[in-house]
Structure formats: structure tokens, C-alpha cells
């Protein structure tokens, strides 16, 4: 008899204030960072987690973690982002 295994995803919503987020913009649209590479000060993102970036209660970015680097950075994308491009 064939054995099947099912993986259960326990995705989390990672809610972070803009002032606490270290990020780089990889793709911009209309001056907003649409695809970002980011690192969290606390916690570790996992593939499939949702990243929610707030500033004074306003949602600036809401996207899924799409890639993870071994050095602790992750990538997420929000096509309707209002996240400002970080200063160089």
C-alpha cells in the first residue's frame, strides 16, 4: 500500500513597524518598493509567511515571503505597496 505524507503549513503574519524594518528595494513602481529584500530584528521569516509593514496604523506593505537567503534575509512582494523606497 502506498504511503502518502501531507505537509501542513503554519504560516504566520509578521507584523512590523516601518522604523523597525531593514530592507532594500529590488523593484519599484511609482516610487514605492514593490519587491523587497528584508531582515527582521526579531524573529525569523519562513517561506509563505505574510509580511505586514505598518506606519502609524497605516498598512504600507502586505506580501508573502517568497524567498529566503542563508544569511537571514528574505524577499517579499506586494503589487499594491505604499512602502517608500529607502534612502541610499
pTM score, two decimals? 0.84
2 in Cβ contact with 53 (< 8 Å): no
Pull the grid cell for residue 13: 503574519
CA distance 86 to 81: 13
Question: What pLDDT sits at residue 7?
Answer: 54
Mark the ranges of the chain whose per-residue pLDDT is less than 70: 1-9, 88
Amino acid at each position: 500500500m502506498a504511503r502518502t505524507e501531507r505537509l501542513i503549513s503554519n504560516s504566520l503574519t509578521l507584523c512590523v513597524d516601518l522604523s523597525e524594518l531593514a530592507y532594500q528595494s529590488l523593484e519599484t513602481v511609482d516610487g514605492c518598493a514593490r519587491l523587497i529584500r528584508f531582515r527582521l530584528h526579531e524573529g525569523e521569516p519562513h517561506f509563505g509567511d505574510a509580511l505586514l509593514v505598518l506606519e502609524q496604523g497605516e498598512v504600507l506593505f502586505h506580501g508573502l515571503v517568497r524567498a529566503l537567503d542563508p544569511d537571514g534575509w528574505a524577499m517579499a512582494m506586494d503589487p499594491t505597496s505604499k512602502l517608500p523606497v529607502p534612502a541610499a
